[in-house]
């Protein structure tokens, strides 16, 4: 069996790659990350809306494109490759799953048009942090959730301690916002505190929560795949240009081995991400386990490549001029969100009956 991208999916990846390369270069990413371009991420999202990116997974009946999770993973890889500052994973991938389960066609249509963005606050239902967690009575929420995906959005998808999913407006009564500083300045994160905050119940079905979580993990893995590929490309290009002892450093065996090891580690990850995304739609009985293993493996491979690529660059790798740290930090952020490798692998072991 030959498993790979279709011609349409390859064209989708190429189109998104060209757009981001031309419209969201590193100079613009740097401006958004440093705050010089204050509405940068929102303007980027509006430009992507013109391409139909927010509508990828929205059904055609609500003005969407109706594509698959594999298509979304292809786009997520390009977002990681260009360190794109946009609320893609929460708004275009995770939120639509819960909204479709609830039959909320109005919000789905608004997302498809790029008129609304959705942050995701389900981390406490994955592994609650000290003094954090969200409880509900079915209509109102109380508690705290930290490290929100797509913080600063118009609405938030929130999970309580049972895995029930709610939609909360960003200006809801009793909701307090607080930004948090993370290593990745291209994607803001923050803290939400709920004080008897009114919320719209979308689903109390555990399967819906698991579907949202699995999709988020696979898209984070795809994002890491793209970021790691870019770091390899930069390392190879630098090794060809940088000279030492009147020779390009890429001619030295040690540097060759470093670049070869990065490429050999990453290449098997690509079909792994594709299969995990494909399983979300087509092989539901394998989706959870595959998502766990993919998230954990890409996190570790990405960390290795981020470290090794920076070493190939030597001292230049730590400077803002090169900008390598944007990809380094993005990979680190992805590693932490929705479960670190140790936690996710433990979850996979439970699914396989290896631990109790």
Residue 294 lies in a domain: yes
Element (H, E) at 173: none
Q: Is the domain of 243 the same as that of 200?
A: no
Distance CA 37, CA 191 (A): 23
Short-list 307, 266, 333, CA closest to 89 = 333
Tell me which of 204, 235, 264 is where a domain ends. 204
pLDDT in tens, 107-156: 999 999 999 999 999 999 998 777 888 999 989 999 999 999 999 999 99
Residue 310: inside a domain:
yes
* 212 and 196 both lie in a single domain: no
Cβ atoms < 10 Å from Cβ of 196? 11
Claim to verify: residue 230 and residue 340 sit in the same structural domain: yes
The pLDDT of residue 40 is: 66
Confidence at residue 130, expressed as pLDDT on a 0 to 100 scale: 77
Let me know whether 340 and 214 are in one domain. Answer: yes
Check residue 54 and give its pLDDT: 95
Same domain, 261 and 273: yes
Would you tell me the crossing angle of helices 40-51 and 7-23 to the nearest 10 degrees?
150
pLDDT at 87: 94
**Distance between CA atoms of residues 323 and 334, nearest Å:** 18
Give yes or no: residues 198 and 149 share one domain: yes
**pLDDT number for residue 281:** 95
Asked, for residue 1, whether it belongs to a domain, the answer is: no
Say whether both 179 and 218 belong to one domain.
no
Domain boundary among 117, 140, 174: 117
Query: Is 239 in contact with 259 (CB distance < 8 Å)?
Result: yes
Question: Do residue 62 and residue 189 come from a single domain?
Answer: no
Residue from 338, 58, 101 nearest 204 by CA = 101
Residues 230 and 190 in one domain: no
CATH number at residue 308: 1.20.140.10
**Structural contact between residues 131 and 75, judged by C-beta atoms closer than 8 angstroms:** no
pLDDT confidence of residue 211:
97
Q: How many domains does the chain have?
A: 3
Q: Is residue 93 part of a domain?
A: yes
Name the residue among 70, 100, 79, 85 with its Cα closest to residue 34.
Answer: 85
| Residue 143 belongs to domain with CATH number | 2.40.110.10
Evaluate whether 275 touches 290 at the Cβ level (below 8 Å). yes
Q: Which CATH number fits the domain that encloses residue 75? A: 1.10.540.10
Task: Give the C-alpha separation, 39 to 86, whole Å.
Answer: 11
Strand 155-159 to 118-121 pairing = parallel
Are 106 and 129 found together in one domain?
no
- Say if strands 118-121 and 189-198 run parallel, antiparallel, or are unpaired: unpaired
Same domain, 112 and 129: no
Q: Which residues of the chain have pLDDT under 50?
A: none
Domain match, 344 and 252 both:
yes
Whole-Å CA distances, 327 to 114, 190, 283: 26, 20, 32
Domain boundaries, position 43? 7-117
Last residue of a domain, one of 59, 89, 117: 117
In a domain, 342, yes or no: yes
């Amino acid at each position: 069996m030959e498993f790979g991208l279709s011609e349409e999916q390859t064209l989708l990846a190429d189109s998104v790659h060209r757009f981001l390369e031309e419209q969201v270069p590193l100079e613009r990413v740097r401006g958004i990350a440093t705050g010089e371009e204050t509405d940068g991420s929102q303007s980027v999202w509006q430009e992507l809306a013109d391409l139909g990116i927010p509508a990828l997974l929205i059904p055609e009946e609500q003005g969407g494109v109706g594509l698959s999770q594999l298509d979304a993973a292809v786009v997520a890889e390009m977002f990681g490759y260009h360190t794109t500052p946009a609320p893609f994973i929460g708004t275009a991938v995770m939120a639509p799953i819960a909204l479709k389960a609830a039959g909320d066609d109005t919000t789905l249509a608004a997302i498809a048009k790029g008129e609304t963005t959705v942050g995701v606050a389900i981390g406490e239902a994955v592994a609650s942090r000290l003094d954090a967690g969200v409880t509900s009575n079915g209509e109102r929420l109380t508690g705290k959730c930290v490290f929100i995906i797509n913080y600063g959005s118009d609405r938030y998808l929130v999970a309580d301690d049972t895995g029930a999913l709610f939609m909360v407006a960003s200006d809801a009564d009793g909701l307090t916002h607080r930004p948090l500083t993370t290593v990745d300045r291209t994607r803001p994160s923050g803290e939400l505190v709920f004080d008897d905050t009114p919320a719209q119940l979308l689903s109390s079905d555990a399967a819906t929560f698991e579907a949202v979580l699995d999709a988020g993990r696979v898209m984070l893995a795809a994002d890491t795949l793209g970021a790691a590929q870019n770091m390899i490309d930069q390392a190879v290009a630098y090794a060809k240009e940088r000279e030492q002892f009147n020779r390009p450093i890429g001619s030295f065996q040690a540097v060759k081995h470093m670049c070869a090891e990065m490429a050999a580690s990453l290449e098997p990850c690509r079909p792994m991400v594709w299969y995990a995304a494909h399983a979300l739609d087509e092989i539901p009985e394998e989706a959870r386990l595959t998502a766990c293993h993919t998230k954990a493996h890409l996190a570790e491979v990405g960390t290795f490549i981020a470290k090794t690529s920076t070493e190939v660059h030597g001292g230049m790798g730590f400077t803002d001029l090169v900008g390598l740290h944007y990809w380094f930090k993005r990979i680190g952020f992805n590693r932490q969100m929705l479960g670190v490798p140790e936690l996710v692998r433990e979850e996979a072991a439970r699914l396989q009956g290896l631990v109790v």
